[in-house]
Amino acid sequence: MSPHIVTSLLAISALASPFRPIVAQESTVLIPDRVFDGTELHTRWEVVVADGTITAAGPRGTVDRPSGARVIELTGATLLPGLIEGHSHLLLHPYDETSWNDQVLSEPLALRVARAVVAARATLMAGVTTARDLGTEGAGYADVGIRQAIDEGITPGPRLLVSGRAIVSTGSYGPKGAPEWSLPLGAEEADGRDDLVRVVRDQIGRGADWVKVYADYRWGPDGTAAPTFTQEELRLAVEVAGSSGRPVAAHASTPEGMRRATLAGVLTIEHGDGGTPEVFRLMADRGVALCPTLAAGDAITQYAGWRKGIDPEPERIAAKRRSFRAALAAGVPICFGGDVGVYAHGDNGRELELMVEYGMTPNDALVTATSGNARVLRLDDRGRIVPRLLADLVAVDGDPTRNIGALRNVRFVMKGGVVIVEQ
């Protein structure tokens, strides 16, 4: 981020003081050219907001404007629900800046938190008003504190659903050094009935909104991905988390890891690179959503030297296109979640651009980022522009249902009825 942008963001913050919760707020009428309501596009609509919620939305002339309401014209823009990022790591920064191993092993916690605070701000400025952050990767429960700082208006950011340290089976995760050494890991190990029950409960007690487990990892022969937890262990994690009201997300990219996680009752599967038509059918039957994290693979392959648009497409990317299409064909609910942190925070829209590039319509991609993720993440108070839902709204220049790249042209962000960005 350039100093110029930082200065202007600070100026926005100083002028409008937008990050402290404002209790009594005037009503606001928003008049964009178009409204995407979370499902479909409407032209010549307007939206009324009061006390942090949407109070009316409909064709111009049919909606009551409260007297004295502030009117914000968003000429040329499309208004849509604030985006819901399904898979972020605020405590990570792009791997072409610092490798994952070095971030986990060598970066001071305070440094990581300082970066995460900046990342949370960039995320909100990009129109993401809710993010599910899936693991701190060695930064303990820093996500719980950052969630609190955002909720208390100390620092700007999206509403966060956090998962703390996340859970891996012994021996599977990294960083790995010489076998004589035990290095600090990017997640917490747990195995077998008693240990797994204790760790799931402990992470919940320390503030996890979601429990994240790694159903497979690259610990197979020659570093290939292979299942980690047994079917029984995964079922147990889901049962224990569920009794406290917490859902489970599973990292899985092998068909067997995905199958076990699906049968165990997780709500989302992260990555799914090796998914087969059979396992995608099983996911669709059980209503388990896939967060494909297309942007992470795209970024990592480029960090490894692939010159996108110049070199032929590597097999890893071609295979990812095929598996994503197989998931769509099977009717798997798709979660918008890019694994942002592997690439720059605030660049969340990159995942949606790739979803379109890999075969989804722009309208369907927008659904995943709004009403779709609200449904997948069990957030029934947001994700659509209808009365009584939270006034988390974003406006972008252009029409993202035709050109998904328009999401990069953010000119207005509102969170809970408070204007964060207005240009």
Catalog residues that contact Zn ion under the rule CB under 5 A: 339
Q: Which is nearer to Zn ion, 34 or 132 (CB)?
A: 132
Amino acid type, 351: E
DSSP state of 364: H
Question: Which residues, listed in sequence order, are joined to residue 73 by a DSSP beta bridge?
Answer: 31
Q: Are 393 and 34 in contact (CB under 8 A)?
A: no
CB of 188 to Zn ion, least distance (A): 15
Residue among 422, 415, 394 nearest 155 (CA)? 415
HSE on the CB side for 408, CA within 13 Å? Answer: 8
Q: Which is nearer to Zn ion, 249 or 393 (CB)?
A: 249
343: left (phi over 0), alpha (psi -120 to 50) or beta: beta
Q: Which is nearer to Zn ion, 166 or 419 (CB)?
A: 166
Q: Which is nearer to Zn ion, 216 or 339 (CB)?
A: 339
Q: Which is nearer to Zn ion, 118 or 340 (CB)?
A: 340
For tokens 């990317």, the residue is 317
128-133/83-88 β-pairing: parallel
**279 alpha-carbon distance from chain centroid:** 23
Q: Which is nearer to Zn ion, 298 or 339 (CB)?
A: 339
45-50/53-59 β-pairing: antiparallel
Q: Tokens for 1?
A: 């981020």
Helix, strand, coil proportions of the chain in percent (round to 5)? 35, 25, 40
Q: How far apart are CA 56 and CA 64, in angstroms?
A: 8
Q: How far apart are CA 187 and CA 174, in angstroms?
A: 8
Q: Which is nearer to Zn ion, 88 or 368 (CB)?
A: 88
CB of 89 to Zn ion, least distance (A): 5
Q: Which is nearer to Zn ion, 36 or 217 (CB)?
A: 217
Q: How far apart are CA 10 and CA 8, in angstroms?
A: 5
Q: Which residue is nearest to Zn ion (CB)?
A: 339
Helix runs in 186-226, H state only: 192-205
Reduced to 3 states (helix: H, G, I; strand: E, B; else coil), residue 418 is strand
Q: Which is nearer to Zn ion, 33 or 339 (CB)?
A: 339
Q: How far apart are CA 373 and CA 379, in angstroms?
A: 8
CB of 88 to Zn ion, least distance (A): 8
Cis amide bond preceding 175, omega within 30: yes
**53 alpha-carbon distance from chain centroid:** 22
Reduced to 3 states (helix: H, G, I; strand: E, B; else coil), residue 50 is strand
Q: Are 42 and 158 in contact (CB under 8 A)?
A: no
Q: Which is nearer to Zn ion, 339 or 347 (CB)?
A: 339
Q: How far apart are CA 134 and CA 87, in angstroms?
A: 6
CB of 334 to Zn ion, least distance (A): 16
Q: What is the largest CA-CA distance in the chain?
A: 73
Q: Which is nearer to Zn ion, 339 or 397 (CB)?
A: 339
